[in-house]
Amino acid sequence: MIVDADSAAILLLQPLVLAYWYSAPQPVRVTPLRVGEGWAATELGAPGDADLFKLLREVDSFTDAEDLSAAAQQWRLPVVPYRRAHAVQPWSPRRAGRQERFRSSGAGQSGLPVTAAHALAGVKVVDVTAMWAGPLCTWLLAQLGASVVSVESDARPDGMRAPYGGGIYPGGLLEPGAIGRSAMFTALAAGKERVNLDLRLQDDKEAFALACANADLRVDSLSRRARENLGIDNQCESGQGPAIVHLPAYSSGPSSDWVAYGTQIHAMSGLAWPAGSDEPIPAATAYVDGLGGIAAAFASVVALYSAAQNGRAPTLTASLMDAVDALASDHDHGALLRGDPMPRVTELAEAHTVRAVEMTVAGVPLRHPASPFVSA
């Protein structure tokens, strides 16, 4: 498979490119929080998170970013410490096979030649993901011809819908409470079927189990603890169900059950705090989500190929931290990861206007980039 550099850059800088395209406000970098001698990344996106985090800091005093982050994670708040670059080891090809990268609990992995745009035609995928990384993974699979059914509960809509702000809206127009207006959600939902299932309810669990039984692949972006609480892994224990790709924030270690956004993975990787800098520099956008989505798409193809070759569906884990690990050598010295990406964003948006399609939002005619305006 050959992917041109512009397409890859668009996927990694998608929120910035879409915001530029629609003349919408650019996503704001979250300022690091000073805690003692360290710093914490506190991207609190869910409703109520900010109030809960304020309460946590009122009931206990913290003088260390690591301790604050561990306590916040116990409350399921996406708070992580910034870590220094010296904790990151240079990447080398030998590291690609270590356990923390792609870990298989089933059959072995093989190379996969892709020779056609619709190489996955006939493949059925159950998508239990939200936000950016997981939906990008399954969008890429759909672009290769797979049939994708996305599970989304009305009781807990995908946060990328951002109906009350925080999202990117066509033309910069936001109608508070409107569902399906977010440019990111619209882009990543293209070509997929959506079903309303609340996996806490027995009837919906049974419907989900039936969907899995008829699928070739299940992709989820849930932590191990969330999967255990929902009991969804029990649907596929026999090895006769679909191949599975997990896309959590972390795959192993003490933080394996932590919750985090892409910018926070950037913070923990060491890439945000280069040697010689007095303080960390947050990422301009959550590029780690784009990187993780691409890595999970590759893992999905590997899992499908392995199942076809060996007759037993494997389970692979491709976490966001695993995906960013390959960037640890920081070849561009932070030009993209910490610097100003807008010159590149402007170049991309203006160079690919031919990929836009006409659409109407709130009665206003707009040109919408084909989702996410990367051709199949």
Please work out, in degrees rounded to the nearest 5, the angle formed at the alpha carbon of residue 305 by the alpha carbons of 300 and 306: 95
**pLDDT tens-place string over residues 167-225:** 888 777 787 777 777 888 888 988 899 999 999 999 999 999 999 999 999 999 998 88
* pTM of the predicted structure, to 2 decimals: 0.86
The confidence score (pLDDT) of residue 101 equals 36
∠ CA 318-320-323, rounded to 5°: 70
First to last CA, the chain: 11
Write down the pLDDT at residue 87: 45
pLDDT tens per residue, range 292-337: 999 999 999 999 999 999 988 999 999 999 988 877 556 666 766 7
Q: Which three-class secondary structure string do you get for 220-285?
A: ECCCHHHHHHHCHHHHHCCCCCCEEEECCCCCCCCCCCCCCCHHHHHHHHCCCCCCCCCCCCCCCC
pLDDT at residue 7, as a whole number:
82
Cα angle: 152, vertex 153, 158; to 5 degrees = 55
Q: Is the pLDDT of residue 276 over 50?
A: yes
User: What pLDDT was estimated at residue 106?
Assistant: 38
User: What is the average per-residue pLDDT within 14-35?
Assistant: 88
pLDDT > 60? residue 372: no
Mean residue pLDDT across the chain? 82
Q: Looking at 94-223, which runs of residues are DSSP E strands? A: 103-104, 124-128, 147-151, 193-195, 217-220
Fold that domain 5-32+82-351 belongs to in CATH: Rossmann fold (3.40.50)
- The pLDDT value recorded for residue 71 is 96
> Does position 284 have pLDDT exceeding 70, yes or no?
yes
Angle at 32 between CA 31 and CA 35, to 5 degrees: 140
Residue 338: band (very low, low, confident or very high) from pLDDT cuts 50, 70, 90: confident
Over residues 133-154, the mean pLDDT reads 94
CB 318 within 8 A of CB 296: yes
Length of the chain (residues): 376
Domain range annotation of the chain? 5-32+82-351
